[in-house]
Amino acid sequence: MLRHLIKYNFKTYIGNRLNLFWNFLFPFAYMIIFFMALFSLSDGSSGLDTIRLAVVPVHENESAESKTEALKSFFEFDGHEGIWDGEALEHPAGTEKTLLLYTESNETESLKWLENETIDAMILVDDEISFKVKPGSSLTPTVLHEILASFERVNKTQTSITSGYQEGRFTPPSASDTEQLEANRFIGIDKSNRRTAIYSQFIYFFAALAYITYFPLNTGVEVIESIEPAQSDQALRKYVGPVSKTKHFFGALIPRWVAHLLLIVLLFAFTQLLNIDYGTDYPRIILLLFFGTSSAIFTGTALGALLPGKQGPKVALSISIPLLFALASGMMASPLHSLIMEKIPWLHNWNPLGMISNGLYALYSGGNLERYYQQLFGLGIFNLVCFALTMLGVRRSRYESI
């Protein structure tokens, strides 16, 4: 009988047009849109945009001119004087990218450019340098502040050292010493063997796959709806039949569960077709996704079994819960994820969607698999608890009046 129920439920589930749209088409459609929106991030580098500047000598005198020239020379470390191409300040070599692109102008014109967003900042060269930017939260003011402060610091350093020589505190090195000093002159931090963490914007991709993995929560709710006489007419009809509720439960659960396990493999394969990089440890990724999808279904069955009443509130919960968990895990508004990780990390780490996302990250970052297995273990415990709650809820209901 169980085999018959499984076969029957599988056919009706697959053949149900609503399921086809909601549970099968939605995740694919969502991944396409998501990927199209964010595929520019998938190469893992955002870089710094070119900062377009107007250098404005405040006074027309020799000192201001020489400081302006010195500043322009200083910009040459990663900058170039731009040329006007219509309304835009461009690099003379066309597509070549530098951190700074500058032009010299007067204050009125520069202010107009700044207001029209033709340039990102204007630098006022006086005894002390200052700059103006448009309001906003971009990184431009921070980078510019650091560059300009560095220019002033270089000047101050040169002044201090010159006065040190004049005071006799320092003595010029001999020719042989100079060679050795130059060989060991500090030129920067060695970045060739720098440890770079995974690009934090990748959280969007981990959370998005976790979201569609944890999406079929409603399927679990439906399983209970189909067997609880208080929740649907279909279940009421089943209840008067000779087959036990437990058999009906497994008869409804197994085909849906299997369908979604197959679906998540297809969805993962689809992400690979879209070239979304989740690493190459496919067996472990798929195992994690299996646990994740199972957790969605068992969350649904637990909700269905424990919450009394009709479907409305449960459907709302089955839409809202994955969205809330996805939010905590960084699928939308990554600053919020950072805030959650700082203030209430358990909201991300202890929810199943967060565990899937953490597991994907652990595999992607490579190295020790301990963290991956921790997430798998966490999901396993979560599934067991939800399953136990489901059985508790299902077995608790008695309908002796029927």
Partner 1 sequence: MKVFKLFLKLLYAYRSTILPHVIIFLGIFVALNLGGTAETGQVSLYNPKIAVFDHDDSPLSRHLKDYLLERNTEVEVEEDATVIEDAIFEDWLNYAIVIPEGFEDSFGKSGNYADLITFANYDDGLNQVMDTQIEFYLSVWDSFRIAYGGSVPASEAESTLKQVDEIMRTEVEGVELVSENGSQSVEVANFFSFLNYILLAVGIAAIGRGIAVIDKSHLRRRDLVSGYPESKRTWGLFMAVFVVMLALWLLLTFVLFLLVGFSALSEPNILWMVVSNLTHALAVSAFIMLLMQIFPSENASSFLGTLISLSTAFATGIFVPREIVWQPLQTAFSLMATYWDVSNQLILSSTVSLSTDLGGVMRNIGIMLLMGLLFFSITLILRRVREKEAA
Binding to partner 1 in span 160-219, by CB under 8 A:
160-161, 164-165, 169-171, 173, 177, 180-181, 183-191, 194-204
Nearest to 264, CA basis, from 370, 200, 333, 360? 360
Q: Say which DSSP state 136 is in.
A: S
d(CA 81, CA 52): 10
Binding mask 276-315 for partner 1 (x = CB under 8 A): ------------------------------------xx-x
Judged by CB under 8 A, the residue of 38, 230, 306, 385 near partner 1 is: 38
Q: Nearest distance from residue 165's CB to partner 1, in Å? A: 7
CB of 319 to partner 1, least distance (A): 6
Residues 372-391 close enough to bind partner 1 by CB under 8 A: none
User: Which segment (19-27, 88-96, 227-235, 381-389) binds partner 1 by CB under 8 A?
Assistant: 19-27
Question: Using the rule CB under 8 A, is 234 a contact of partner 1?
Answer: no
Q: Cβ 321 to partner 1, closest distance in Å?
A: 8
Under 8 Å CB-to-CB from 386, ≥6 apart: which residues?
295, 298, 299, 301, 302
Site stretch for partner 1 (CB under 8 A), options 225-233, 268-276, 288-296, 321-329: 321-329
CA–CA distances in Å: residue 68 to residues 75, 103, 212, 287: 11, 11, 56, 62
Applying CB under 8 A, the span of 82-90, 226-234, 362-370, 375-383 interacting with partner 1 comes to 362-370
Least Cβ distance, residue 128 to partner 1 (angstroms)? 7
By beta-carbon proximity to partner 1, the closer residue of 272 and 365 is 365
Which one of residues 48, 83, 88, 269 is an interface residue with partner 1 (CB under 8 A)? Answer: 48
Number of other CB atoms surrounding residue 327 within 10 Å: 19
**Separation between Cα atoms, residue 304 and residue 315, nearest integer Å:** 10
Contacts of 382 (CB under 8 A, 6+ apart): 295, 298, 352, 355
Stretch binding partner 1 (CB under 8 A), from 269-277, 290-298, 327-335, 381-389:
327-335
Give the integer Cα–Cα distance in Å for 63 and 53: 21
Piece of 6-14, 66-74, 279-287, 317-325 that binds partner 1 (CB under 8 A): 317-325
DSSP-based three-state secondary structure for 103:
strand
Stretch that binds partner 1, among 132-140, 224-232, 251-259, 281-289 (CB under 8 A): 132-140
Q: Which is nearer to partner 1, 329 or 383 (CB)?
A: 329
Residue 385: burial class (beta carbons within 10 Å; 0-12, 13-18, 19+): middle
Task: Convert 205-242 to b/e letters by CB count within 10 Å (16 or more is b).
Answer: bbbbbbbbbbbbbbbbbbbbbbbbbebbeebeebbeee
Pick from 64, 254, 286, 324 the residue near partner 1 by CB under 8 A. Answer: 324
- For the bound state, the minimum distance from the C-beta of residue 230 to partner 1, rounded and expressed in Å, comes to 17
Following CA atoms 136, 137, 139, 141 in sequence, which dihedral angle do they give, to the nearest 10 degrees?
50
Q: Which of 318, 140, 65, 78 is nearest to 214 (CA)?
A: 318
Task: Tell me which residue of 195, 353, 367 sits closest to 279, measured CA to CA.
Answer: 367
Cα 298 to Cα 11, 35, 216: the distances in Å are 21, 28, 10
* CB closer to partner 1 out of 214 and 290: 214
User: In the complex, what is the shortest distance from the CB of residue 100 to partner 1, in angstroms, rounded to a whole number?
Assistant: 12
d(CA 390, CA 296): 13
Q: Binding partner 1 by CB under 8 A: which of 2, 58, 341, 391?
A: 341
From the CB of 311, what's the least distance to partner 1, in Å?
A: 10
Report the residue number, 288 or 317, with the smaller CB distance to partner 1.
Answer: 317
Work out which of 7, 153, 237, 395 binds partner 1, going by CB under 8 A: 153
Single-letter amino acid, residue 86: G
Number of residues that bind partner 1 (CB under 8 A): 107
End-to-end CA distance of the chain: 23
Which of 25-33, 60-68, 228-236, 293-301 is the region at the interface with partner 1 (rule: CB under 8 A)?
25-33
Site for partner 1 in 72-111 (CB under 8 A): 111
Q: C-beta of 37: minimal distance to partner 1 in Å? A: 4
Considering only 108, 176, 368, 401, the residue that binds partner 1 (CB under 8 A) is: 368
Question: Which token pair is 221?
Answer: 């709710």
